[in-house]
């Protein structure tokens, strides 16, 4: 860090401040997203972080790096937001009839998909032989969803230690705790996360945008648009999941998922679905659109994200909230 740059920023030079914090902005947003599960909340938290940093720059003692100082502010802003009882309530899915009995009912959690375009240029902070989680894994939906089931402080400790590789002493300082409390919190977080994440040793997904991935995704899209339930089920692993966060209904296994998909197809009647490809959380995804029966257009109905495992699909995650689509460059209405 240039001392001259810091001095100019402290003197009130906004350009110097922008140069000082700019390289960290995108990774801070991903960190806030991991904690909150929300793209909108992550953007808000980063704005609050940078405003607090600008106002508090005179008090920065340089005992740590600017990056660590910003992470301290961002993490505590996120924790304060999660404690706020006034946080928005998650939406319910539009459903004309009651769906089939689910395999299980989980606690509702707020979760949104994260656009791959926002991940470009971010360093693999989890890279290295000492990292417990691989960099790609820490942004995949399974990891983000599992994090949302941890108490907020456990999320923060696990991310700061296991993903961002801050030392125990650094994390204790960031969260105004002791090193022993950080170690205990991390132990509990690891145990809970281990129960939520897929078992180790499963086939890896195909490389992003590889021919293998493209073939599998195209087969899914063709079957989905045609309401070919048997064709869809043939692509699933035996223990695949279908979830709709924050809706707590979960369907596991080919029979349960087929039952829900048939219900979903029947509820649409004669309205056809249209899929627009995109990517979320490093995974293939589609914007969902329903054709209008009275006009030559299709209206946004949500997004579906595919979790691949080898040459099969291990999970389908459907989001009914359409407000996130513009962040993926997807419109609310498509011409027919």
pLDDT digits (tens, 9 = 90+) for 277-331: 999 999 999 999 999 988 999 999 999 999 999 999 999 999 999 999 999 999 9
What's the rounded mean pLDDT across residues 187-198? Answer: 92
**What pLDDT shows up at residue 97?**
60
Helix (H) or strand (E) run with residue 318 in it: strand 312-319
Q: In this model, does residue 130 exceed pLDDT 50? A: no
- Establish how many alpha carbons lie within 13 A of residue 260's alpha carbon, considering only the half-sphere containing its beta carbon: 20
What's the rounded mean pLDDT across residues 266-283? Answer: 93
Q: In this model, does residue 1 exceed pLDDT 80? A: no
What's the rounded mean pLDDT across residues 193-208? Answer: 88
d(Cα 251, Cα 243) in Å, to the nearest integer? 7
Contact 330, 306 (CB under 8 A): no
Contact 51, 73 (CB under 8 A): no
Which region among 55-69, 153-167, 183-197 has the lowest average model confidence (pLDDT)?
55-69
Q: What is the pLDDT of residues 89-98, one digit of tens each?
A: 555 554 546 6
Residue whose token pair is 């490093």: 282
**pLDDT band (50, 70, 90) for residue 231:** very high
**What pLDDT shows up at residue 304?**
98
More confident residue, 198 or 115: 115
More confident residue, 94 or 237: 237
More confident residue, 154 or 84: 154
**What pLDDT shows up at residue 200?**
77
Contact 162, 132 (CB under 8 A): yes
Residues in the chain: 336
In percent, the amount of the chain with pLDDT more than 90 equals 74
Query: 68 to each of 37, 75, 78, 130, 173, how far by Cα in Å?
Result: 22, 10, 15, 20, 10
> Is pTM beyond 0.85 here?
yes
What is the overall mean pLDDT for the chain? 90
d(Cα 149, Cα 108) in Å, to the nearest integer? 9
Q: In this model, does residue 190 exceed pLDDT 70? A: yes
In the chain, the domains with their CATH numbers are 3-85+133-196 (1.20.140.160), 211-335 (3.10.450.50)
Q: In this model, does residue 128 exceed pLDDT 50? A: no
For 239-271, the DSSP string reads: EEEEEETTEEEEEESHHHHHHHHHHHHHHHTTP
Q: What is the pLDDT of residues 32-88, one digit of tens each?
A: 999 999 999 999 999 999 999 999 998 887 778 899 999 999 999 999 999 885 455
């Amino acid at each position: 860090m240039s001392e001259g740059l810091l001095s100019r920023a402290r003197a009130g030079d906004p350009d110097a401040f922008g140069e000082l914090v700019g390289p960290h902005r995108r990774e801070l947003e991903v960190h806030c997203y991991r904690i909150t599960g929300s793209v909108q909340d992550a953007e808000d938290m980063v704005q609050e972080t940078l405003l607090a940093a600008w106002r508090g720059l005179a008090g920065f003692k340089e005992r740590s790096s600017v990056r660590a100082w910003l992470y301290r502010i961002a993490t505590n802003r996120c924790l304060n937001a999660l404690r706020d009882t006034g946080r928005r309530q998650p939406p319910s899915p539009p459903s004309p009839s009651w769906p089939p009995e689910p395999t299980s009912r989980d606690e509702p959690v707020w979760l949104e998909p994260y656009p791959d375009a926002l991940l470009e240029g971010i360093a693999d902070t989890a890279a290295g032989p000492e990292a417990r989680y691989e960099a790609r894994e820490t942004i995949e939906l399974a990891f983000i969803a599992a994090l949302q089931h941890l108490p907020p402080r456990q999320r923060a400790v696990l991310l700061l230690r296991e993903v961002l590789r801050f030392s125990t002493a650094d994390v204790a300082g960031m969260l105004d705790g002791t090193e022993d409390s950080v170690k205990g919190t991390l132990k509990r977080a690891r145990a809970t996360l281990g129960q939520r994440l897929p078992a180790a040793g499963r086939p890896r997904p195909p490389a992003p945008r590889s021919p293998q991935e493209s073939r599998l995704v195209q087969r899914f899209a063709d079957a989905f648009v045609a309401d070919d339930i048997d064709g869809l089920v043939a692509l699933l692993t035996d223990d695949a999941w279908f979830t709709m966060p924050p809706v707590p209904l979960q369907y596991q296994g080919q029979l349960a998922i087929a039952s829900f998909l048939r219900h979903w197809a029947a509820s649409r009647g004669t309205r056809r679905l249209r899929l627009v490809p995109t990517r979320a959380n490093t995974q293939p995804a589609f914007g969902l659109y329903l054709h209008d029966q009275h006009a030559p257009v299709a209206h946004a109905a949500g997004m579906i994200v595919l979790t691949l495992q080898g040459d099969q699909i291990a999970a389908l995650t459907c989001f009914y909230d359409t407000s996130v689509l513009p962040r993926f460059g997807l419109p609310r209405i498509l011409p027919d």
